[in-house]
Amino acid sequence: MRILFMGTPMLSRTVLEALLAAGHEIVLAVTQPDREKGRGKAVQVSPVKEAALAHGIPLFQPERLRREENVARLKEFCETNPADVGVVAAFGQILPQAVLDLPRLGCLNVHTSLLPRYRGASPIEAVLLAGEEETGVTVMQMDAGLDTGDIRLQEALPISPDDTGGTLTEKLAQLGGRLITEALRQLEAGTLPRRPQEGESTYAGLIRKEDGCLDFSQPAEELERRIRAFDPWPGTFTFREGKRLKIGRALVLRDRDNAEPQTGCAPLPGTVTAVSREGIDVQTGRGILRLAALQPEGKKMMPADAYLRGYSLEAGTLLGERL
């Protein structure tokens, strides 16, 4: 089939590569503009742009696709290069109805959750934060709403206890590529099912860098999930002596008493209770969290024992104070 593809991050590239491997023709790849990144302001192109250039696919990189002039440009392109269907995977912009109507069969979205649960921009992080045991991919017929369109195909995926935002994204990207190619096969054969979304909906909003700041007054289980959910982006951190200290890996000490601490008996949340080669134990609002990998400012991520060889840390130290 002739496909108008829209996507930006590595997940999108995985889906795009699956479509190409299945023999589909990509008439145009729409992706976000190049961005400056880091202190050196180096220009960074999206993974979808990299793939498009490698495969000789025409590119369109509008700052805001909703703008009238950009819709007009896309419409003009599609008039001379008609698409059978649009495929959208983590594009990063809301599409106006005028764009959704350009392909002959409309647009299908590869959404990384079991809709109607976790609509929105960050469903992968949201399921990890919530402690869900499964998630999945939904191929949805797009409408003008925010992830409200009819479900065409859907498949569940179990979440492993050690999954991070990065590992789960890769698993869902692979599933998404397989599911969209199957959806297109059925669409072309006229057998693709369609049903409205039913049940309670939830929303996963945008994540900001500051959301990675750990609040040790929360339970250890919630903090451990946050550390995994925000790996690799935006990452999680605390403060030690006013300097940012990134946390790469942690675990809940199940053999400790994780009941609510009694007033006057437990250290303040954020207090280091023990230090060993295995990690740095920190009191939380409920239970003990062991920090197993840390990254001081200006350094690389390192295991706890390596951190302790370079940085003196004793029980009783309070983490989290910015000074």
pLDDT over 50 (residue 236): yes
pLDDT over 90 (residue 98): yes
Domain containing residue 132: CATH number: 3.40.50.170
pLDDT over 70 (residue 93): yes
CA-to-CA distance for 112 and 137, rounded, in angstroms? 5
Q: Does residue 263 share a domain with residue 128?
A: no
Domain containing residue 223: CATH number: 3.10.25.10
Bridge-based pairing state of the strands 42-44 and 59-60 = unpaired
CA-to-CA distance for 116 and 203, rounded, in angstroms? 9
Query: Residue 8 belongs to what H/E stretch?
Result: none
Rg (alpha carbons) of the chain, rounded to whole number: 23
* Peptide bond connecting 161 to the previous residue in cis, omega within 30 degrees of 0: no
CA dihedral 242, 128, 166, 154 (to 10 degrees): -160
Q: Does residue 156 share a domain with residue 288?
A: no
Task: Look at residue 318 and tell me if it is in a domain.
Answer: no
**Do 237 and 319 form a contact (C-beta atoms < 8 A)?**
no
Task: Look at residue 86 and tell me if it is in a domain.
Answer: yes
pLDDT over 80 (residue 274): yes
Find all residues with CB under 8 Å of 50, minimum gap 6, and list them: 13
Mean pLDDT of the chain: 94
Q: Does residue 79 share a domain with residue 38?
A: yes
- What the block records as the tokens of 16 is 């795009």
**Among 118-122, 159-163, 253-257, whose mean pLDDT is lowest?**
253-257
**Among 64-73, 183-192, 244-253, 264-273, whose mean pLDDT is lowest?**
264-273
Domain boundary among 147, 171, 204: 204
Q: Does residue 180 share a domain with residue 229?
A: no
3-class secondary-structure state, position 27: strand
**Cα–Cα distances in angstroms (integers) from residue 88 to residues 48, 207, 209, 240, 271, in the given order:** 12, 21, 25, 43, 46
DSSP string, 29-89: EE-PPPEEETTTTEEE--HHHHHHHHHT--EE--S-TTSHHHHHHHHHHHHHS--SEEEEE
pTM equals 0.94
Can you give the residue range of the structural domain that contains 288?
A: 209-310
pLDDT at residue 260 in the model: 46
